[in-house]
Amino acid sequence: MINKQSLWFLTLLTLVLVLGVYYVTMPNELLKSKAILESVNSEIEVNVEESDKLVSLRVERDEKLETTMKELQNVLTSTTTTAEEKNSAFEELKLLNLTKGKEEELENKLLDVYKIKSFIEINGDQIKVTVNSKEHNSTLANNIMRSIQEEYNKKMYIIVKFES
For 47, other C-beta atoms within 10 Å of its C-beta total: 4
Average pLDDT, the chain: 84
Burial class of residue 124 (count of CB atoms within 10 Å of its CB; 0-12, 13-18, 19+): exposed
Exposure string (b/e) for 23-44, b if CB count within 10 Å is 16 or more?
A: eeeeeeeeeeeeeeeeeeeeee
Q: What is the pTM of this model?
A: 0.64
Are 106 and 151 in contact, with CB atoms under 8 Å apart?
yes
Cβ atoms of 163 and 131 within 8 Å: the answer is yes
pLDDT for 133-154, tens place per residue?
Answer: 877 889 999 999 999 999 999 9
Residue 40: the pLDDT is 57
pLDDT grade for 7, boundaries at 50, 70 and 90: confident
**Is the pLDDT at 1 greater than 70, yes or no?**
no
pLDDT at 28: 67
